[in-house]
Structure 1
Amino acid sequence: MRRSRLVAVLAAGSLAVAGCSAPGPAEVTFYGDGHTIRVGPIGNCDLSTGVCSANPGAAGTLKVRPGRSVQVSVPKEIAEGPWKVTVQSIDGKGQPQPLKEDIITSGDQYAYTATPPSKDDQIVVVEIAQATVISRTGDPNDAEPITSALWSLQVQPA
């Protein structure tokens, strides 16, 4: 499965723990098959300071039956900027299906429903990536989105 730029940033640089005085990172809520879980980011970077932290143990886990969707709810600080949803599914024989990626840029979308390609397919991973748009030269035409935080849900068959 393809990883976002955040993984590369976290792997390439030294990791530091964010200061205690700042508020905690945003949580994303996942709902599937009658169960809800709120998770913090598995990786988070402050692009202004270059300080990143990793917390792979923050990944959430839900049991969801094949063919069932997973709903995602993000807080205001994520919804107001660009964010991406990546969904990995497997078919009824356990074969990976193509990744589904949707980029949300409306600035006011707080929810997303991840739906498996068919009734026999099983969603196995849903990831939310928060983007921060930066320009290395100061020219807005040179701006590019950089992943600044990543949330992950691992789905277990119910």
Structure 2
Amino acid sequence: MSRTRRSLLAALPLAACLVLAGCGSDSEPQVTWSAGEASATVGPAQFCDLTMKDCTNDEAARALLPVPAGTPVEVTVPDEVSGAPWSVVFSYTGPDGQRTDGRSPVFAPDARTSYTLTLPEPGDVLGTAQVQLLGAAPVADPGTGEIAFPARATWVLVAHQ
């Protein structure tokens, strides 16, 4: 086998890795939000390493989408997110003007790459939503007894009518 051919064959796995899996890429995962005909892909507003010690924040990282009352919102996450526990937290306003906070189920690693957020009533208006990539194990707040889910990364949607 010629030297050129051996060099080319040796380079193929690296090239495939770079093209198919993004090996060596320092870019942070992107999440896509879709509502009706509109969609936006955005990077994380907050992103921490696995130890949750090295974190970056980008306050400008948010998707702005028109989401009319009663419109479901589809969120699609990449393998880097779906490979760990994740969930969607959200706030909406009902027809009575009352703001309500909610949370999807926590999705197990590799269980799914998308979620459709549908509010309880047709007149409910979504305000914000976040994909949360969960880090450390959930803990109970000693004061309230509520369970806190430490997020190591978040992707934000700000809805408007």
TM-score range, shorter chain: 0.7 to 0.9
C-alpha contact 1:31 1:70 (8 A) present in aligned 2? yes
- TM-score using structure 2 length: 0.72
Counterpart of 1:151, as a letter, is: W
> Residue type matched to 2:56 in 1?
S
* CA 22–145 in structure 1, closer or farther in 2 if over 3 Å, else same: farther
Number of equivalent positions: 128
Gaps of 5+ in 1: 1-20, 135-143
Q: Write the deviation string for residues 32-83 of structure 1: whole angstroms up to 9, x where unpaired.
A: 0210100110001113472111101001110011011100000011111100
- For the structure 1 residues 49 and 122, does the alpha-carbon distance in structure 2 shift closer, same or farther, using more than 3 Å as the test? closer
The whole-number CA distance in structure 2 between the counterparts of 1:71 and 1:49 is 28
- The CA deviation string for residues 107-154 of structure 1, in whole angstroms up to 9 with x for no partner, is 2300000011101111111111102346xxxxxxxxx96421111101
Corresponding residue of 1:149: 153
Letter in 2 for 1:122: V
Identical columns (%): 24
CA shift in 2, pair 1:93/1:23, >3 Å: same
CA RMSD of aligned residues (A): 2.1
- Is the counterpart of residue 114 in structure 1 residue 117 in structure 2? yes
Partner in structure 2 of residue 96 of structure 1: 99
Query: What are structure 2's unaligned runs of at least 5 residues?
Result: 1-23, 138-147
**Aligned partners of 1:87, 1:49: CA distance in 2, in Å?**
23
Higher-Rg member (1/2): 2
More strand by share: 1
TM-score (norm 1): 0.73
- 1:137 is matched with which residue? none
